[in-house]
Amino acid sequence: MEGQVVIVTGGSSGMGKYMAKKFVQEGANVVITGRNEERLEAAKQEISGEDPAQVLTIVMDVRKMEDAERMVMETESAFGRIDHLVNNAAGNFIAPAEKLSANGWKTVIDIVLNGTFYCSHAVGNYWIENDTKGSILNMVATYAWNAGAGVIHSAAAKAGVLSMTRTLAVEWGSKYGIRVNAIAPGPIERTGGADKLFESEAAAKRTLQSVPLRRLGTPEEIADLAHFILSEKASYMNGEVVTLDGGQWLNQFPF
């Protein structure tokens, strides 16, 4: 990734931070975005290598198209190019569907579904206008095609992101050579998602029981996969979703 530029939305915590760290280690200039400046600065300290100028932080909200467009402009003026976009920013909470408020539904749809479109639209247009190309990686979840009981807002939004992944892979792949892929992580340690899953000891035990490999994934494993998908080694991969969940979603009748 030497000399390349990668934008990671929601890059100040969880998987986003670990992916950003991996890309920095691989020589990329990395932009991390988020809503909170302090958290972004702390993440920058943590992931920067010897050259702090390798990491740019941008305070923005993926729910705003104008923020996505500013993200592209600030990246261009700092680094002069964009090679990859990782749509990692997400919002989620556990709520029974019948109790979910209209605003709770809208908030998660706005962050996950609309945010992914706004950022992809802004970066895609940058590539198209500059006659260059790059690749997009979307973070989904196995409940994008399976059931997401307790997280109907996130499941519906991730299903939309998966559809967007495949649609843009065809539309932008054929016209512009832009690749669009996705990763569907299972339960991953040191992430906001795991914190939510492990709110109680019983919930933690249930989750571990549901994974055939009987362990959580690590954010480093996600980062390694993300690096591979963005790299030239995966240059023929387009419209694919790669699951990294220890076999969890296949475990329909846990034993």
What are the two backbone dihedrals, phi and then psi, of residue 188, each rounded to the nearest 5 degrees? -120, 130
DSSP-derived 3-state class of residue 155: helix
Cα distance between residue 13 and residue 20, in whole Å:
10
The closest alpha carbon to 60, from 10, 132, 129, 94, belongs to: 10
CB of 175 to ligand HXC, least distance (A): 31
Q: Which two tokens stand for residue 169?
A: 């892979």
Report the DSSP beta bridge partners of residue 179: 135
The closest alpha carbon to 35, from 93, 94, 109, 115, belongs to: 115
Work out whether 154 is an interface residue with ligand HXC (CB under 6 A): yes
Residue 178 or 183: which CB sits closer to ligand HXC?
183
Cα distance between residue 205 and residue 189, in whole Å:
14
Residue 24 or 109: which CB sits closer to ligand HXC?
109
CB of 102 to ligand HXC, least distance (A): 6
The closest alpha carbon to 82, from 117, 134, 156, belongs to: 134
Work out whether 134 is an interface residue with ligand HXC (CB under 6 A): no
Measured N-to-C along each axis, helices 37-47 and 14-25 cross at an angle, to the nearest 10 degrees, of 40
Binding to ligand HXC in span 160-179, by CB under 6 A: none
Work out whether 95 is an interface residue with ligand HXC (CB under 6 A): yes
Residue 7 or 111: which CB sits closer to ligand HXC?
111
Q: Which of 41, 42, 64, 104 binds ligand HXC (CB under 6 A)?
A: 104
Work out whether 141 is an interface residue with ligand HXC (CB under 6 A): yes
- Quote the radius of gyration of the chain (alpha carbons, Å): 17
Over the window 173 to 212, marking each residue x when it contacts ligand HXC by CB under 6 A and - when it does not, the resulting string is: -------------------xx--xx---------------
Contact 132, 80 (CB under 8 A): no
CA distances from 186 to 63, 99, 112 (A): 25, 25, 17
Is 126 among the residues known to form the active site?
Answer: no
DSSP-derived 3-state class of residue 94: coil
Please choose, out of 25-33, 99-107, 116-124, 238-246, the segment that lies near ligand HXC by the rule CB under 6 A.
99-107
Over the window 224 to 253, marking each residue x when it contacts ligand HXC by CB under 6 A and - when it does not, the resulting string is: ------------------------------
Contact 192, 13 (CB under 8 A): yes
Number of residues that bind ligand HXC (CB under 6 A): 18
Catalytically annotated residue among 18, 126, 143, 176: 143
Q: Which of 45, 103, 200, 252 binds ligand HXC (CB under 6 A)?
A: 103
Residue 35 or 121: which CB sits closer to ligand HXC?
35
Residues that bind ligand HXC (CB under 6 A): 90-95, 101, 103-104, 107-108, 141, 151, 154, 192-193, 196-197
Looking at the annotation, which residues are catalytic? 143
